[in-house]
Amino acid sequence: MSSRFPGFALLFTLGLCALSAPALAHQVWLEPAKEGARLYFGEFGDNLHEVSPGYLDKLSRPTATLSTAAGEKPLSVAKQRDAFSIAGRPGKGEALIVVDAEYPVSESKEGEKTVRSVWTPAARFAGSLSAQAPKLTLDVVPTGTAGEFQVFFRGKPLPSAKLTMTAASGWSREETSDGAGKVRFTLPWKGTYALLVRHREDSGGSRPGASGPEAFDRASFGTTLTFVTSEGLPSPPPPPAAAPNTPK
């Protein structure tokens, strides 16, 4: 088990940004709002929210679904300055799921070869920590056992996945999923947590695009599960809001 601190995380993220597109070091996540929920793009533990105009505009067409025992319900999504507002939030045993399947294709050089990569950012907001079924291509869900979560990829448990649990204060822990895709965390604070998992496939394919099929050589996925708990110690305050990145 390892920990990280907000300042170090910010420096690490900025280092990644210097090497590649800033968005690739980021995550998307959901939080409850006064009415419904909000989808953010940036770094949860660093209190970094990208804005529009800016890198928030990289999220081209996020779709939101409320998953309930009665079925799936599409929800409206509207872009604001620093987030997308979602017209709904999950109740106990329900989940709000958001995915952007049309994040722009990126290109990089590997020797003489041009590699086309796609990234699928996604988020799940669990209304409670009761057991939930996977819905996303890369998904992480509560199992119903205290502090336990399970990672799935294409509907199957994903072993050896690296996950980072982060509290709103910037406190975080990293763990690796076992052979059944399961992982356990101790949650010391009350409040909102974000559990991030990433996975990459080094195989090509094609996906639907706004102007037709888009071929790619590599596919990456990043999914964040957020939830709110009333158990634990009072949470330390969040770090000061970080300035959004300026597109070059």
- The yes-or-no verdict on residue 94 having pLDDT over 70 is yes
| Lowest-pLDDT choice from 20-29, 69-78, 136-145, 188-197 | 20-29
pLDDT at 247: 87
Domain ranges across the chain: 2-229
Beta carbons of 163 and 175 less than 8 angstroms apart: yes
pLDDT at 51: 97
- The yes-or-no verdict on residue 150 having pLDDT over 60 is yes
Average pLDDT, the chain: 90
Mean local confidence (pLDDT), 110-117: 91
Can you point out the beta strands (E) in 46-190? Answer: 48-49, 63-68, 71-75, 77-79, 84-86, 95-99, 106-110, 113-126, 138-142, 148-153, 156-157, 162-167, 172-176, 182-184
- The yes-or-no verdict on residue 1 having pLDDT over 90 is no
Q: Residue 177 — very low, low, confident or very high, per pLDDT cuts 50/70/90?
A: very high
Strand partners, 178: none
pLDDT at 20: 39
| Lowest-pLDDT choice from 6-20, 105-119, 125-139, 176-190 | 6-20
pLDDT at 48: 97
Work out the percent of the chain whose per-residue pLDDT is above 70. Answer: 90
- DSSP state, 242? B
Q: Residue 142 — very low, low, confident or very high, per pLDDT cuts 50/70/90?
A: very high
pLDDT at 205: 92
Q: Residue 63 — very low, low, confident or very high, per pLDDT cuts 50/70/90?
A: very high
Strand partners, 198: 222
pTM over 0.85: yes
